[in-house]
Amino acid sequence: MSWWGWRTTGTGPTPRMPTRTAGRRREDDYMEALARLHLTVTRAYKVNTDINFEVFIHKVDGLSDDHKIETQRDIHQRANDDLADAGLEKIHLSFYLTSIYDHSIFEAFSKVVQKLIPQLPTLENLLNIFISNSGIEKAFLFDVVSKIYIATDSTPVDMQTYELCCDMIDVVIDISCIYGLKEDGAGTPYDKESTAIIKLNNTTVLYLKEVTKFLALVCFVREESFERKGLIDYNFHCFRKAIHEVFEVRMKVVKSRKVQNQLQKKKGTTPNGTPRVLL
């Protein structure tokens, strides 16, 4: 996996100037970065043709929404044209607009990390079943430390919804660090008993539950649906059990492969069964 990112314009407001001059200045900002991107991609592709390339177009907070889209389209076109000229049309580049002043950087990393999770279709299917049987509007499976969501249901992701989930995780961890630890400081701010309910002023309820010591489920529920909290908790118990089973199967597969590789090394064969030849 390879990441590459660059800055566009500065964080301050875009200066007033003729459109042509402004466009030329923006292009100058990333022409050098495009050349370096092309060099990095071509070299990496020679080493591993199966590599995925995720490009972060960073520091876009100083651009208007229209200019963000225009810049991304221009960078995407130029990068692909350079690859086509080099005869590397098979290389696929994914582009993301990011900034540290909002949660776009976390959302971008979430999408990248999801590509590395072989169980993603299973996780999404479990979330779809959970929300459809519980009257839930939206659900995320979060990594608590990084605030990256490793899976969500099939409904579209809204940036404001995602930001609220991240803020909720921060509130839960901060309050737990103050009131959840023992007098001697023992314990952890996030454990199997961690749960939180936040009611918003638009008849929506945020509901957080611990799934594993690293993962949390954050849901958006209407107040009238949350009245059936017993049903939601029962369905969550089934969902949590299924999640544990998914990762247990994965661990067993990895362990089995390690044992198989060790046995093959002892027998003097390669992983595909052919005999090893000592030179």
Domain count for the chain: 2
Q: Model confidence over 132-172: pLDDT tens digits?
A: 999 999 999 999 989 999 999 999 998 889 999 999 999 99
User: Tell me, what's the pLDDT at 188?
Assistant: 76
* The last residue of a domain, from among 40, 73, 101: 101
- The CATH number for 147's domain is 3.30.450.190
- The CATH number for 42's domain is 3.40.50.300
Claim to verify: residue 232 and residue 123 sit in the same structural domain: yes
- The verdict on residue 271 lying in a domain is no
Residue with tokens 């390669």: 270
Range of the domain at 210: 118-180+187-256
Report the predicted TM-score, pTM, of the whole model to 2 decimal places: 0.75
Is the distance from CB of 152 to CB of 124 less than 8 angstroms?
yes
Say how far apart CA 29 and CA 10 lie, in whole Å: 10
- The verdict on residue 269 lying in a domain is no
Residue 1 has pLDDT above 60, yes or no: no
Residue with tokens 């889209």: 69
Residue with tokens 């993301």: 96
- The verdict on residue 264 lying in a domain is no
Rg over alpha carbons for the chain, rounded to the nearest Å, is: 24
Q: Model confidence over 30-51: pLDDT tens digits?
A: 888 999 999 999 999 999 998 8
* The last residue of a domain, from among 101, 128, 149: 101
- The verdict on residue 168 lying in a domain is yes
pLDDT-wise least confident of 184-188, 200-204, 262-266: 184-188
Helix, strand and coil percent figures for the chain, each rounded to 5: 50, 20, 30
Sign of CA dihedral 213, 219, 225, 227: positive
